[in-house]
Structure formats: structure tokens, C-alpha cells
A and B are shown apart, each in its own frame.
Chain A
């Protein structure tokens, strides 16, 4: 497994502002993923972030709203831009290793409340 940390653990933000969430892993990993979990809902994949290439976004998510950086094999950031109350969610990063049967390990999540 991998030890994953996220910063901040929670935040309260005003609408129209942006928040950058950091994800740090204790070992090098090929794949990093960002998920959203809206209140009372299941997890939805936002995008896949591979080091050295552009992030791949799922349907319904765009780079202008959720820009992602992946500068190295242990770190990634997700920015939630121009926030609205509908962006209030838990944002989770996960990591996986190609060839390890798709197992993904999740960070503790960032709880975001937009007022």
C-alpha cells in the first residue's frame, strides 16, 4: 500500500474564489487520480493525472474548472476554480501502480464547503 496525505483537510471558501488541494504520496507512483464525493453520494472520477503528460478528464469535468498539476511521481494538485456552492464536496486523491491489478489507495480527502 501507500501512505497518502492531502492538504488542506478541510476548508470553507467564498464563492468565486479558487482552492488548490495538494496530494502527497510516500513513494513513487505511476497513476494518480482525483475524485469528487458530493454530500451523501458516491465517488465520481474527475481526472487521471500521469507525470509528464496532460491530465485526462472524465465527461462532465473540464480543465478550466479543475486544473491539475503532476510535477513528479509523488505529488499532484487539484484546483477548484471559480467556486460555487455546488462545488461543496469531499475531494479525494488516489494512487495506483500499473500492473498491480488496478488496486487504488485513497487519501483521507479534503472537505470543501463553499458559501
Chain B
């Protein structure tokens, strides 16, 4: 069965420093992987997705993620955090079906 584990429930960074949000997945097949962001009192926005093309995926707002099959990881990174990046981030896995499995989320705080 497919699953996804977000290793940190909270991450705090200073503005201008790098961001790393960690995600590990479990899947029997070649999965599709996504990162979604949820700002307070707003809906979910797709940041980026991996679907068996390039292993380094670039998304919106300067975020990117690297698919590492050997480590079953899909960590989200950004070189320099901005105050507007403060939000909840969800790692999501899908196995060639329409069903998305969400991780438990990581709350990112950005301090000035």
C-alpha cells in the first residue's frame, strides 16, 4: 500500500535562509508525487509534481523537489525563504490512480 511520511510537523527558518521540508514515500509501483501548499484560511495550491520525467522538479515561487528512488524521498527545498512562504505544506503520493494520499503536513514558520 502506498503511503507518505512527512518527517517534520513544524519547521522554522529565518527569512533569507534555505528551506528543507522532508518527505519519504512508500509505493509498490512508480508513483506520482506532489507538493501542495495551504496558506491560512485558503485552499490548496499545487506547488509541483513528479511523474517519472526529470528527477529534479521545479515548481512555483522558487520551490523545487528532487525524486530519489534509492532513498524513497521527495524533499522540498527553496534557497531563500520569504515571509510569504509561511504556510502548511503537504507531500502527496498517487499510484497511477486518481486517489491522492496526503501526508500529515509540515507547518513552515518564517521569522524576520
Contact = CB atoms under 8 A, between A and B. Distances in A.
Contact of A45 (B45, B90, B99): B99
A114 interface: no
Interface residues of B, number: 21
Contacts of B42: 108
Given A45-B99, A45-B100, A106 B105 contact: no
Contacts of B49: 101, 103
A104 B44 CA distance: 10
A106 B100 CA distance: 12
B32 interface: yes
A92 B43 contact: yes
B94 interface: yes
Contacts of B103: 42
Contacts of A31: 98
Nearest to B88: A42
A102 B102 contact: no
Interface string B38-69: 00001111100101000000000000000000
Given A102-B32, A102-B97, A42 B44 contact: no
Question: Which range contains the number of A residues in contact with the other chain?
Answer: 20 to 34
A102 B43 contact: no
Given A43-B90, A45-B100, A103 B46 contact: yes
A108 B44 CA distance: 7
B77 interface: no
A48 interface: yes
Contact of B98 (A1, A4, A42, A48): A48
28 contacts: A4-B43, A33-B98, A33-B100, A42-B90, A42-B104, A43-B44, A43-B102, A48-B98, A92-B44, A94-B44, A101-B32, A101-B49, A101-B51, A102-B96, A102-B100, A103-B34, A103-B46, A104-B46, A104-B98, A104-B100, A105-B46, A106-B36, A106-B43, A106-B44, A106-B45, A108-B42, A108-B43, A109-B43
